[in-house]
Amino acid sequence: MESLKIIGGNALNGTIPISGAKNAALPLMTAALLTGDTLTLENVPRLRDVRQLAEILVNHGVDYTIAGKRAGQNGAAGQTLNLNAHDIVDTTAPYDLVSKMRASFWVIGPLLARMHEARVSLPGGCAIGTRPVDFYIQGLSSLGAEIEIDRGYVNAKAPRGLIGDRIVLPKVSVGATHTLMMAATLARGETVIENAAREPEVGNLAECLIAMGARIEGIGTDTLYIDGVDALHGATHRVLPDRIETGTYAMAVAMTGGDVLLEGTRADLLESALDILRQTGTEITETNEGIRVSRKAGDILPVDVMTAPFPEFPTDLQAQFMALMTRAKGTSHITETIFENRFMHVQELARLGADIHLDGQVATVDGVATLRGAPVMATDLRASVSLVIAGLAAEGETVVNRIYHLDRGFERLEDKLNACGAEIIRVAA
């Protein structure tokens, strides 16, 4: 099992290209099941989760080709996927595949809409808390699906096709919004999804579906209107920049000091997080090339944060921000409202000398003058990168173990940071 060895203490200076968003690429790949034509996706990141979902789609009969780096191309450029689901040969998504990645459950919407049936394994538990699929099932039932749960599988049928209806999500859910929006594109009549997620990745999927012939209004709001069509066609669509990767590297610069251009990203994707970073004493500047982040002299200032659905501070940046606050001059409070078990990185940060106290869903962080390197263990994707951020500022050597979590969501992380002055070595077990 591989690990990362980090020698801390170096400021970051230079340029970091931002990859396409994993959280946008995955639902976009799933949308290929909605049409027999080719869906071409540009700027797809090279990640383990992308490869895993491609394997799941192949199981359903999807053919795909990859056009990636060629001679003379920038190695940081995203790859292009051509996905064709002309012949869906299997409407079952088995446990051994779905259990590896929760996002694979989303295939239930497109399969049910186009094939009028789907048998998809329940995804099982999650290290950062329970993420039930009740909202998905309730929403698909509202669209006329007959659903039975048997032996760990969701068996869904709609012999005469799905029928549009009004769906009110009990809680904002990005995954349920993705799934129900895809299903509704081929339902008869109009579907209204209320309390829909407003995340940019949802909008990116909606724009792709529109390019495929879907009729969707309300993008960027909490109410989506989908007027079903008989069929969708192929399209070419670009994956938006990864706002979580953007925020992560911005916090790394704030932690270490320095001046870095985050190339190819957009500030409107994470305004709340950037506003919080500015309050810590970090300078954020929008440019034609991306976002420039710099922190010269001066202390890191403490800021209180509460996670919430977009457009508020994202839960996927909570761990990284906590790492930053361990070096703040003063006390900060971080409240997690999305997942009930997303503070597992606290004990690992404490191994580096962080002073953090938990009270339910609130973490109180008393900044310390110095972090010191130590062996630490990654527990999930975002927690693992928070340990990298802490290690960049710690004295001596930090070894982050179980980095397979990192490879699920960050493309070429050590290469990008090392190009800006970090000292990170990937070590094989």
Whether 218 and 322 map to the same domain: the answer is: no
Is residue 318 classed as helix, strand or coil in its secondary structure? helix
Collapsing DSSP to helix, strand or coil, 222 comes out as: coil
**Which parts are annotated binding residues for UDP-N-acetyl-alpha-D-glucosamine?**
102, 171-174, 316, 338
Residues 233 and 253 placed together within one structural domain of the fold = no
Whether residue 275 is found in the same domain as residue 373: yes
Asked if 404 contacts 370 with a C-beta cutoff of 8 angstroms, the reply is no
Q: Are residues 221 and 86 part of one domain?
A: yes
Residues in the chain: 429
Structure tokens at 227: 């007027």
Q: pLDDT digit string (tens) for 99-112?
A: 888 888 999 999 99
Q: Report the distance separating Cα 86 and Cα 34, nearest Å.
A: 10
Question: Could you give the CA distance from residue 400 to residue 410 in angstroms, rounded to a whole number?
Answer: 15
For residues 171-202, b (16+ Cβ closer than 10 Å) or e, as one string? ebbbbbbbbbbbbbbbbeeebbbebbbbbbbb
Residues 102 and 203 in one domain: yes
**Which one, of 302, 306, 317, 305, lies nearest residue 270 by Cα?**
317
Residues 365 and 220 in one domain: no
> Are 58 and 85 in contact, with CB atoms under 8 Å apart?
no
pLDDT at 344: 86
Amino acid at site 133: V
Both 37 and 108 in a single domain?
A: yes
Last residue of a domain, one of 199, 219, 238: 238
The domain boundary residue, chosen from 182, 211, 238: 238
Question: Is residue 126 annotated as a catalytic residue, yes or no?
Answer: yes
What pLDDT is recorded for position 35? 98
Tell me what pLDDT residue 370 has.
97
- Give yes or no: residues 194 and 332 share one domain: no
CA distance 70 to 65: 14
Q: What is the pLDDT at residue 75?
A: 53
Distance, CA of 358 to CA of 318 (rounded, Å): 14
* Residue 230 tokens, joined: 């008989």
CB 250 within 8 A of CB 293: yes
**H helices present in 61-199, as ranges:** 95-98, 108-115, 134-142, 174-184
* Amino acid at position 308, single letter: A
H helices within 285-425, ranges in order?
A: 318-325, 345-351, 381-393, 404-409, 413-418
Q: What is the pLDDT of residues 182-238, one digit of tens each?
A: 999 999 999 999 999 999 999 999 999 999 999 999 999 999 999 999 999 999 999
Round to whole Å and give the CA distance between 39 and 55. Answer: 16
Rounded Cα distance between 100 and 124, Å, is 9
What is the extent of the structural domain holding 33?
23-238
Same domain? 158 vs 248: no
Task: Determine contact, residues 10/392, Cβ cutoff 8 Å.
Answer: yes
Same domain, 36 and 155: yes
- Going by the annotation, the residues of the binding site are 22-23, 102, 171-174, 316, 338
Domain count within the chain: 2
Among 238, 273, 306, identify where a domain stops.
238
Say whether both 281 and 422 belong to one domain: yes
CATH code of the domain in which 353 resides:
3.65.10.10
Per annotation, catalytic residue among 67, 89, 126, 427: 126
Q: From the annotation, which residues make up the binding site for phosphoenolpyruvate? A: 22-23
Q: What is the mean pLDDT of each run of 10 residues along the chain (429 residues)?
A: 94 98 97 98 94 94 81 65 97 90 92 97 58 86 96 95 97 95 98 98 98 98 98 98 98 98 98 98 97 94 97 96 98 91 89 97 97 92 91 97 88 96 93
One domain, residues 246 and 234:
no
CB 31 within 8 A of CB 208: yes
